[in-house]
Amino acid sequence: MSKPDQSEVNTLGFASATAELQKNFRQVEEIMANFANSYDHMDLDPFNLMQSSAEWFAALAKDPKRAIDANISFLQKSMELYQQSMSSLLAGSVPEQPVIQEEKGDRRFRHEGWEEQPAFNAIKQSYLLMSKWMRDQVQSVEGLDEHTAEKVEFFTERYLDALSPTNFAATNPAVVEKIIETKGANLVHGLKNMLEDLEAGKGELRIRMTDTTAFELGKNVATTPGKVVFQNRMFQLIQYTPSTDKVLKRPLLVIPPWINKYYIMDLQPKNSLLKWLVDQGHTVFVVSWVNPDTSYADTEFSDYVTEGVMTAVDVVEQATGESDINMIGYCIGGSLLATTLAYMKAKGDQRVRSATFFTTMIDFSDPGELGVFIDEEQLANLEKRMNDSGYLDGTQMAGTFNLMRANDLIWSFYINNYLLGNDPRPFDLLYWNSDSTRMPAKMHTWYLRNLYLENNLSKPGGVSIDGVPIDISKVDIPVCFVSAVEDHIAPWKSTYAGAKLFSGDTRFILGGSGHIAGIINPPAAGKYNYRVTDQLPDNPEAWAVSADVVDGSWWPEWDRWVKQLSDDQVAARHPGERGMRLIEDAPGSYVKRTLNDIAAPAGAEAASNPAPTARTPEPEKPTVGATAADDLTAIKGIGPKLADLLGQAGISSYAQIVELGAAGIRQRLVAIDPRNSRYDTSGWPEQASRLLG
């Protein structure tokens, strides 16, 4: 048999590709049919868009002139584009002056085909004209309340994103070029990628952003050396190994958000904020929150304060012997830190001497685009969904964030993976972004309602923690806010408003880029710039004009600020000193728990029985100083430091706590140090009685 010529090879390749396409399409039909059967059980309008759209249409009908003007303008521009396009097609070149041009920075139309080929140029301009017409119809419509107007505008933009010609194979020159180059093989491989994503999402299309198999926690991400020195049902506490002979006397405790994992601050050594802090001579501790399951359904926001941050402060004090510490809170972790500081102020606890807030909102009066997703109707729908599982699946929260930047975080990957047929590339940041966590139902509902919906955290006494009303304005320690100019999750002007709530010295730093890149910006990268002052006028725009502008990363600026507050040094502290038992190597086991791991990790028990759940399993329980007959840390409100203190007061068993009663315990603590009056002993005897039973 003679060697086949090129035409025969092409024919055989096309036949093979066609057969493969037919096979894959049959799989798609089967999966989509199964998916369609679940429609009856799904809420297809979780954002209540039908009602919002009806209200918008009613308001628009009251102003017919507005619609007529928009239509006339659209028709005129369309005729102009038609004439221009016909001339361009005949001439074989694009016009020098287009009818409409995309905005600067719109990366969807970077391929040269949009500018060099008349047909694609006409398609692009037609889309841009249609988009402008729709925006003109929905923007600034009179008679709509502000929230409904924002919702209609936001989801109109998302609709326009979806309709972009870049999202369709036949109207994207890059895809057409790839089809010709590969003889359609890119579509075959893209279809396989889509099938894999559908199957992984169990009928829901979850587009992979990166090759998740390329990373392993503790191996090539989250590699800064350290040890887990404490754990309870809420978190593990990691203490990092020092890299300097001397360290600052004040240790540093970092509170990350619980809606995603802490290792965004410890991706690779070259961009690890935690490693950089260690290298600057800080004794760094970081909280690694548990990834909760159904058993945490009744866990409250106040538990994150008392069993979370307050317990972590106790452990840091025990591990270092220092009662003065510096703290950092990132995003929602910063909101939690501010809440804890106000709680500590109300209790007379002065152990935190400075606080830093990364991209943190405390005043939620203007939450930016996230406010679109929060109203009474949407909260009711969310509560209904969480009632069944006891938590909010992290992919739903991630989907919300992705929707806010749909072209970059959804459609670009749709085009790359499915239309161009490329496999996702390894990228540590996107690996972290896809490693979602869950939120306990009760805590998440409380958080959305009290902070986003009602803005209670900014109001004196608007929030109570464990029965204690708090007031942010009474917190008078030095604070530093670090925000990002392009942040769409915590808009910098909103974080600025929160910074003005504190009554002590306040520094505000505004870095470049967005919510992640604006914070994870190592000095060696030489990227962006930042503005900084210690004076905060009422108008944030006025602040931005008057602030000093400095090139590069803000990290050294912050390090100078915190060291000016106290630069005393001591010999380097190593994990395991002062009797702390080493549980495991960093990054620990809690952070490795994925959405597929439903069973509670070791050391985390069910939240339905508050008293016993704080207990750490005996093999992993840290030393708390005094030898105790009972584990006093099983009582809510008693951390390892306080258990040690109770041991000094001669209290080592549940029976003693029941016998002494709240007043007797308090009396013994105050006898050791009057400052111990800050501890609320009222609930301890009842919990101890239950534990005895």
Cβ atoms of 560 and 583 within 8 Å: the answer is: no
- Tell me which DSSP letter residue 230 carries: E
Neighbours of 31 (CB within 10 A): 17
**Cα gap 518→490, rounded to integer Å:** 12
Inter-CA distances, 652 with 73, 600, 642, 644, 665, Å: 81, 29, 11, 9, 11
User: CA 275 → CA 199, 243, 286, distances in Å?
Assistant: 38, 9, 12
**Other Cβ atoms closer than 10 A to 67:** 14
Bridge partners (DSSP) listed for residue 484:
511
Q: What number of residues does the chain have? A: 693
Query: Which residue, 407, 389, 31, is CA-closest to 197?
Result: 31
Question: Cα-flanking dihedrals φ and ψ of residue 238, to 5°?
Answer: -100, 130
In the residue annotation, 480 being an active-site residue is answered as no
Rg, C-alpha atoms of the chain = 29
How far is 567 from 216, CA to CA, in rounded Å? 37
Residue 351 has φ and ψ, to the nearest 5°, of -75, -30
Which of 331, 352, 372, 519 is the catalytic position? 331
Helix (H) or strand (E) holding 496: helix 492-499
Q: Do 247 and 597 form a contact (C-beta atoms < 8 A)?
A: no
Number of other residues whose CB lies within 10 A of the CB of residue 637? 19
Please state at what angle helix 654-672 crosses helix 684-692, rounded to 10 degrees.
Answer: 150
Write out the two tokens for 401. 């964030």
**CB of 255 closer than 8 Å to CB of 332:** no
Residues 408, 414, 419: CA angle, nearest 5 degrees: 130
Read off the amino acid at residue 669: L
**Cα–Cα distance for residue pair 386/464, rounded to 1 Å:** 24
CA atoms within 13 A on the CB side of 521: 27
Q: How far apart are CA 660 and CA 662, in angstroms?
A: 7
State the burial class of residue 15 (Cβ atoms within 10 Å of its Cβ: 0-12, 13-18, 19+).
Answer: exposed
Asked if 48 and 221 count as a contact pair (C-beta separation under 8 A), the reply is: no
d(CA 110, CA 532): 35
Q: Which residues neighbour 202 within 8 Å (Cβ) at sequence distance 6 or greater?
A: none
Helix (H) or strand (E) holding 337: helix 332-347
Catalytic residues: 331
